Structure 1
Amino acid sequence: MSPRSSLPDDGVRQRQQQIAANLRALILSGDLRAGDRVPSTADLMAQYGVTDKTVQRALAILKAERFVEGQKGRGVFVTAQVPVVVRASHYPHTAPDQPHPWITDNASRGRRGSVELLHVGEVPAPLQVAAAFGLEVGAPVVVRHQLLSLDGEPAELVWSYYSLDVARGTRLAEARKIRGGTPGVLAELGHPLRHAVDQVSARLATVEEFTALRLPGDNPVLRQFRVVFSDNDRPIEVTVMVKAGQHFEIQYSLPEPE
C-alpha cells in the first residue's frame, strides 16, 4: 500500500504537476537555494505517496524549466537561476550613448541580457492601446516589437506603441535599434517622461507567446500593460510586456500611510 500523501490532490492537475508546483514554490521562495540538493526520489515518493515514475516526471518538469539539474551519482540540485526582480515603480532611463537598459540592468546583476528587434511599423491600434491614447480602435499607430533574452534564453516580449503624430518620421518609426532605448528619443522630441501607470496580470501564454518565449510547459506569463505620460498628463507611450513567469518577480514599494 502506498503511504498517505502529505500533498492534498487538487483534482485538476496531474500529480507530477502538483509536486513540481510545490518544489518550484520552495525554490522561488528561497527555501531551496542554488546548490541545495532536492529531496531524494525515495523521500519524495514517501512524502507524496506516489510512484518513482511520478517523481521522475515532476523532476523532468523542473529540469525543463531549468530550476534543477541532475548530477550523475549525486542527485538533483537547484540551479543558480535567479528570477529578475522588477521594481514596479522603476522606468529605465539610459543616456543615448549607452546600451539598452535591459542589457545594463542585467549586467549589474551578473546576467547577460540581449535585445532583438522583431518588427517596426504602422499597425491598427488594439482596443486597450487605442483607449489609452484616446483613439478609435483600429486607428494606425507605430509599434516597436522586441524580444528580450536573459543568459541566451527568451524572457520577455515587448510591444511599444506611439501615436503617429509623435512617431512618424522619427527614429521611433525606423526599423533599427535605438541605443539607450526610447525615453531619450521622446525627450528629444519634446515629450519627457513624467510618470507611468502599470497594470499587471497573470495568464497562460498564447500560441505566439509560447513559441517565441520557448516556454517548457503551461507556465503562466506576466502581462504588464504600461501607459507612460509626458507633460500635462499626455499619454506618450503604451507598452505591453509579456514576461516568462519563471524568470521574473514584481516588487512594489508602498509610500508611508497618510
Structure 2
Amino acid sequence: MTLPSAEAEALDPRPLHARIAADLREEIMSGDLAPGSKLPSTAQLKIRFDASNATIQKAVQLLKDEGLAVGRAGAAVTVRENRQRTVRPAGSLTPAADGAAYPWLSEAAERPSAARSTLLAVEEVRVAGDVAGALGLPEGSPSVCRRQLISINDEPAELVSSYYPRDVARGTALAEPRRIRGGTPTLLAELGFPPRRSVDRVSARIATQTQYTALRLPGDLPVLRTLRTVYSDGELPIEVTVMVKAGHLYELRYEFAPE
C-alpha cells in the first residue's frame, strides 16, 4: 500500500527517492519482482509514487548501487539474477573435506569455487559484552580470536570473528594464522570438544565503520548480526562467533520440527 504523499512525508521523513527505493527493495527481496524481471517503467513509477522523473531515477540508482538492479540509461532496468542468497546456519556445523570449501559457503554460491574465506587475523584479545557473556567468562578474560572475510563471486559477503577460551585454543591450530582443514567443528571434535548444540541470536544493526568498509556497503543500510554460541558436552561454551552480512542481500533459513 502506498500512502498519499503528504501523509507519507509526515510519518516517514526520508527523502522521497529513498522511500521509493525502500518499497521497490522490499518487492525485490520478497520475490514480488522476480530475478530477471523488468522494473516498472519510469512512467509507471511516476504515477504510482506521484514523483518526478529525477526522483524516480535517483530511487532506481540506489537499487543499482546496492546490486539489486542492473541496467543502463535509456534501457530497461531489471532485477539482478541470483542476487539475494539464502543461508542455512545449520550448515556451518558440517565438516568440510580437506581442501574443499565449507559446505555452507558452497551452498550460498552459484558454484563451489566461487566461495572463499580470507583469514584476516588470529590474535589474543580480551572479551567483553555479549561475547564474554556467551562464553561464560568474566569481562576482560583472554581469548583467541580468528577474524575472516567471506567472499562469494569475488564480492565481500560476511565479516566473521570467532572467539575461543584461551584454555581451549592455546597450543592448537586455533591459535595459528592458517586455514584449519575441515573447519573448526572437525578440529574442536579432535581436541575433545565435539560441537553438540548451537544457539543463534540474530539482530539488525547499522554497520560500524569497519563493517561498512570491509563489506563495501553502498549506503546506510542495516546489517544482519548473528551471535552464535557453540556448546560441547555438559553445555560447555567452546566457540562464540559474530557474523555480520549485508542485510539487503541475505536471508537466514532456520528449520524446526515439532518436539
Q: Same fold (TM over 0.5)?
A: yes
Aligned-residue sequence identity (percent) comes to 48
Change (3 A) 1:7 1:180: farther
Distance 2:228 2:26 in 1: 28
> What amino acid is aligned across from residue 126 of structure 1 in structure 2?
A
| Contact 1:5/1:47 (8 A) holds in 2 | no
Distance 2:87 2:27 in 1: 20
Q: If each structure's helix is expressed as a fraction of its own residues, which one has the higher value?
A: 2
Aligned length: 253
1:226 aligns with 2:228: yes
Change (3 A) 1:95 1:115: closer
Query: Which residue number in structure 2 is paired with residue 8 of structure 1?
Result: 8
| Contact 2:205/2:225 (8 A) holds in 1 | yes
Query: Which residue number in structure 2 is paired with residue 62 of structure 1?
Result: 63
Distance 1:72 1:133 in 2: 52
1:105 aligns with 2:107: yes
Alignment of 1:39-78 (within 5 A): 39-71=40-72, 73-78=74-79
Alignment of 1:108-119 (within 5 A): 109-110=110-111, 112-119=114-121
Unaligned runs of at least 5 residues, structure 2: none
Distance 2:211 2:203 in 1: 15
Distance 1:17 1:238 in 2: 36
Alignment of 1:116-155 (within 5 A): 116-155=118-157
Q: TM-score, normalised by structure 2?
A: 0.91
CA RMSD of aligned residues (A): 1.9
1:48-79, CA deviations, whole angstroms, 9 ceiling, x for partnerless residues?
01111111110110000111111454311111
SS in 2 for 1:8: helix
Query: Which residue number in structure 1 is paired with residue 170 of structure 2?
Result: 168
Change (3 A) 1:19 1:7: farther
Unaligned runs of at least 5 residues, structure 1: none
Distance 2:40 2:107 in 1: 34
1:93 aligns with 2:112: no
Distance 1:150 1:91 in 2: 16
SS in 2 for 1:100: coil
SS in 2 for 1:198: strand
